[in-house]
Amino acid sequence: MALELVGGAALGAVFEKLFAAVVDASNKTTQFDSSLKKLEETLKSINPSILEMKRMNDQLDRPKEEMEKLIKILKDGEKLIHKCSKVSCCNYFKKWRYANKIEALEDSLVKFFQVELQAQVGRNNLQILVLLKSNRFSWSNKGVSHNYESLGSCEPTDPPAFMVGLDVPLKELKRRLFTDGESRIVVSAPGGCGKTTLAKRLCHDQQVKEYFQHIFYVTVSKTFNLIPIIKKLFWHSDEQVPGFQNEEDAVNQLELMLKRKVESGRILLVLDDVWSGSETVLAKFKKISGYKVLVTSRNEFPDFGSTYHLKLLNEEDAKTLFRHSAIPEDGSGSSVPSEDLVNTIVRCCKGFPLALEVVGRSLHGQPVEIWRSTLMKLSEGQCIVNSEDELRNCLQSSLDALDEEDIMLKECFMDLGSFPEDQKIPATALIDMWAELHKLDKDGIYAISNLHKLCSRNLLNLVVTRNDGNEIDWCYNDAFVMQHDLLRDLAIYQSNQEPIEKRKRLIVDLTGNRLPEWWTKEKQPQLSARLVSISTDEMFSSSWCNMQLPEAEVLILNFNQTENKYELPEFMKQMDELKVLVVTNYGFCAAELTNFSVLSSLSNLKRIRLEQVSIPTLCNTSVVLKNLEKLSLVMCHKIGQAFASSTIQIREMLPNLREINIDYCNDLVELPEGFCDLVQLNKLSISNCHKLSALPEGIGRLANLEVLRVSACTLVSKLPDSMGSLHKLSVLDITGCLRIRKIPKQIDELRGLREFHMRRCPGLRELPPSVTVLVDLERVICDEETAQLWECYTHLLPNLTLSVPEEIINLNWL
């Protein structure tokens, strides 16, 4: 940070001393880490404002008393920081007291620059206006340009001479801007995807210039200062630049100015590079009518306007852009690389425009050997983010913004690097992981909220494969996350900046049986990772070395096997803190999972998720999972065989199980009767099991069951009569059970039932009259045919709402 820019006067000297004290305290003590970091960031952000304040006071010869209050705050702050450095880490009262004082110091600085400085700037502006008037300057641009030139222009600079992949986005944006329906559009995409280039090309398009007689282009960046932007708009319009009392006054006067302008033609305002946290400022522009606004941002602002997602380049456009950057037009250079070499490197850039340009420039005019060396590094797992600073810094700035807003969002983003590239990540797996790792709610509401926030910042794609209103007790079986490979690489790069022993996340991608050097040492390092992810390919032989993971709470095993067996690693026996186990096979067929005996020593294990594996030996050993609360089996085989061959009773094996999810298990013919003895069970969800024909009659013994989901089980023809004993049942789902013809009359005993999901049940022709006693039933989610069956009872059920949502099935994730 260039502190000398503050100047050599008292203000600069005091500011420099405070900043140095904060940096020194951060290096020497850890008990005020978060408070000192926040204060340091605030000092960095106000440095340019201090420079501007001093410059204006000097130029206008303002009284020095105007800066005395700020100087006193800075001096007192320096004394406070020196005192903090002497606080003992064991003195908890003083730590708490001084942490509050540091936060109060930071608040006073922020308040000063939000209130006091704005007032001074306003007075200084009036002084300028008085001087201009006394010297009889014209209000035209020429008359005052030397005083207002710092406001800058609202003319867009020329877009790059070479552009690809923007013809379709340009056409679509023009169509939307030229219609009367939309007045606010947000062009959204990750950093480095060409949003600014598209906006500049739009402004220079001849049709756009003919349609809009007035085009204003303003680059916003991270700090969205409303009043300077509005001054710039006045200045660009050859209007007198007023002195605004506050932001509300500025907006009102801008509205009046635009109303005058619109009389002579249509208006387009482009706000380029708007960051998260600018919602309140955008809302002020939303109040003004009569013109159109185009915003470019890494984020989405759905409350402001409709979103246009700028897509990555297709293969042909990616190759064209890369060739332009990498291969000299005159063909100069040592030699021309082969087409295959070019195509392979282009594929490594994943259609990311900035990546294509950066890598292309690094290879421009280089001999073929350099090209091959680059490809070899990429093929061996060295990602582009590691080696190209320009690309990494562009993507990194999105993470830095998360740091400033919500550190938990950044933690969640970093966790996504634990899953293989180009694979969909089940939202339920993330919910399980975050419930234990970050203490988020177990039902997943906050977890899904974080996913939506990351999605709105273009850091991931959240895909819901079936949107039919099926929000059963916050069930997210049909929600998946997809992440661009370069963003995944960024997360891994960030995780790997710490020494192996200190990493919070240990992410290991194994090719064949080649293990990292640290893993094969005779003396294993003591690892402190809380999240461990190990991915193997089809050549891995399941020959595990030992590993010391005493603090690991989440273990994710990703593998790619079809015919071979996959053995759970022996080192799991020492993972005393393990709470979540996620095992996923990405092969085409279910591989057999073995060595379940390692689970017997994991007393803290609470959640297990198994996907695309065969588990016939799950219960062959006397494994007792006494603290397991949730078991998820997705596309698993031989479930019935596993529990039928159990050497102990299921209730003894899983005494505290509270939730079972069985999804897409195609060879499940019947649910093991022993499941009906799991008296602690709260949720039982069985979906897309097309060979399941019935539920066990003993299901009525599940006295604590609150959610029963039997969805898309096409052979199930009836519900057991014993379900009338489920007095705590609040949610019942039979969606997609095509053969169910009637509801048991015992349904009248489900007095606690609140939600009944029964879409796509074409065989259902009548309801038992006993449904009239379900006076607490609040919501029935059904289709139009089933709604007609309920209509004759609605007058007897005062709390009932019938919902017939439109069904939207999304298969893009395939």
Give the residue ranges of DSSP H helices in 659-775.
Answer: none
Q: Which residues of 129-148 are buried (b: 16+ CB within 10 A; e: fewer)?
A: beebeeeeeeeeeeebeeeb
Task: Render 297-332 in DSSP notation, one character per residue.
Answer: ESS--TTTSEEEEPPPPPHHHHHHHHHHHHS-TT--
What CATH class is the domain 498-672? alpha beta
What Å distances lie between residue 219 and 52, 200, 253, 270, 395, CA to CA? 20, 11, 21, 8, 19
Coil vs helix vs strand at 480:
strand
Helices (H), 155-225: 167-177, 195-204, 206-211
- Contact status, residue 614 vs residue 589, Cβ threshold 8 Å: no
Among 485-489, 583-587, 599-603, 682-686, name the one with the lowest average pLDDT: 485-489
CA-nearest of 91, 49, 40 to 70 is: 49
Mean pLDDT within 689-706: 92
Which pLDDT band holds residue 441 (cuts at 50, 70, 90)? Answer: confident
Contact 557, 585 (CB under 8 A): no
Question: What value does the mean pLDDT take over residues 98-109?
Answer: 82
Half-sphere exposure of 34 (CA within 13 A, CB side): 9
Identical fold, 498-672 and 693-814: yes
pTM reported for the whole predicted model: 0.69
Strand partners, 511: 514
> What's the token pair of residue 341?
């070499």
Measured CA distances, 494 to 386, 575, 663, 803 (Å): 10, 25, 34, 46
Please check the confidence at residue 115 and state whether its pLDDT lies above 50.
Answer: yes
Q: At what angle do helices 247-262 and 226-236 cross, to 10 degrees?
A: 30
Distance CA 580, CA 145 (A): 65
User: Residue 522: enclosing H or E segment and its boundaries?
Assistant: none
Residues 6+ apart with CB under 8 A from 775: 797, 798, 799
Kindly tell me if the per-residue pLDDT of 138 is higher than 60. no
Tell me: the pLDDT tens digits for 301-322?
988 989 999 999 999 999 999 8
pLDDT given at position 755: 93
Short-list 399, 425, 426, CA closest to 410? 399
> Would you kindly state where each structural domain of the chain is located, as residue ranges?
3-136, 147-309, 315-382, 403-483, 498-672, 693-814
Give tens-digit pLDDT for 210-252: 999 989 898 887 777 788 888 888 888 878 888 888 888 888 8
Three-class SS state of 762? coil
What's the CATH class of domain 147-309?
Answer: alpha beta
Q: Is the pLDDT of residue 812 over 80?
A: no
Three-state secondary structure string covering 417-434: HHCCCCCCEEHHHHHHHH
For residue 1, what pLDDT band results from cuts at 50, 70 and 90?
very low
Q: Are 576 and 549 in contact (CB under 8 A)?
A: no
Is 265's pLDDT higher than 80?
Answer: yes
CATH among 3.80.10.10, 3.30.70.80, 3.40.640.10, 3.10.580.10 for 693-814: 3.80.10.10
